[in-house]
Amino acid sequence: MSDKEVVSANGMPQLVPSHYNLTFLGVGGPGAELGPVAVLERGNRPLLTIDCPPGMLDAYLDRYRQAPRALYITHTHLDHIGGMEELFHHTIDAAISDPAQRIRLFAHAGIVPSLQDRLVCNRFIRAEGGVNFWDAFQLVPVSRGFWLNRHWFDVFESRHMQPRFCYGLALETCFVYTGDTRPIPEVLKYVAAAGETVFHDCGVRANPAHSGFVDLLDEYPEELLNRIVCYHYGSAAEANTLQSHGFRTAPPGQRIRLPEPSRLRQLEERRAS
């Protein structure tokens, strides 16, 4: 794995450190201290935050000393969007003064109406009125995927509660993040086909909305199981149980090193040729 990215400086390509990590500020699951929120980092700097549960902003500020600049929402259950009101109040004054300070918010077009209903349909977002919820955000509806900082992120449908409700995220050869889901072997066959680390909803016990480790053992081949990192478990005891069955778990607050995205591999191969 390379720790370098080719960038241009004065017209000449140079190599600079740029490894990729995923850090879970919270892993979600019943009893977890913070709902599921993960931060993709490049060179230890935040690039994209996935989901916004209640309490996310304080945890994010404690770690990065600033609010997120880009946010992807998997679906609209409150343990994934309940922190957006806090984010709105933190950001709105700066965003009104300078629209460039708005947070870029990526969400599948299919869940935008639900976002609107759950967060926005209130004349008085502030008691004094005069501002709109979206004044603090730059909403970017997506379908197949989106560009961010020269990275193409693929978006795919997960299997959670009902059709067209939850959408996972993938960065080719780097990582796949399933969002809340039951097993989706037919999807991972395509979006996790290039050695990506797969962050998968997984607890000790399955239910109609979430996967249990037995589900994963039944549905996925060994090669894929070896690349899975479980999140959305409920406690350290549950993490220990998952580990005793051979699964890796995402520890809250610790960076997980990722394979390099394919774009950077291609740039380095061209430089070396």
Q: What is the pTM of this model?
A: 0.89
Q: What is the 3-state secondary structure (H, E, C) of 152-221?
A: EEEEEECCECECCCCEEEEECCCEEECCCCCCCHHHHHHHCCCCCEEEEECECCCECCECEHHHHHHHCC
264 and 18 in contact (C-beta within 8 Å)? yes
Evaluate whether residue 130 is within a structural domain.
Answer: yes
Determine, yes or no, domain membership for 33.
yes
Number of domains within the chain: 1
- Structure tokens of 235? 């406690």
What pLDDT does 272 receive?
A: 54
| CB atoms closer than 10 angstroms to residue 16 | 11
Tell me how far apart the alpha carbons of residues 49 and 72 are, in angstroms, rounded to a whole number: 6
Average pLDDT over residues 38-50: 96
In a domain, 163, yes or no: yes
Q: What is the pLDDT of residues 63-95, one digit of tens each?
A: 999 999 999 999 999 999 999 999 999 999 999
**Phi/psi at 8 (5° precision):** -100, 130
The pLDDT score that the predictor gives to residue 125 is: 75
* Residue 270 predicted with pLDDT over 70: no
Q: Which domain holds residue 221?
A: 4-267
Q: Is residue 20 helix, strand or coil?
A: strand
In a domain, 273, yes or no: no
Query: Is 117 part of any domain?
Result: yes
Is the Cβ–Cβ distance between 82 and 76 less than 8 Å?
A: no
Domain membership of residue 272 (yes or no) is no
Evaluate whether residue 219 is within a structural domain: yes
Domain assignment present for residue 99? The answer is: yes
The pLDDT of residue 25 is above 90: yes
pLDDT, tens digit (0-9, with 9 covering 90-100), for 95-124: 999 999 999 999 999 999 999 999 887 776
Say which range, 48-57, 88-97, 125-134, 161-170, has the weakest mean pLDDT: 125-134
CATH code of 253's domain: 3.60.15.10
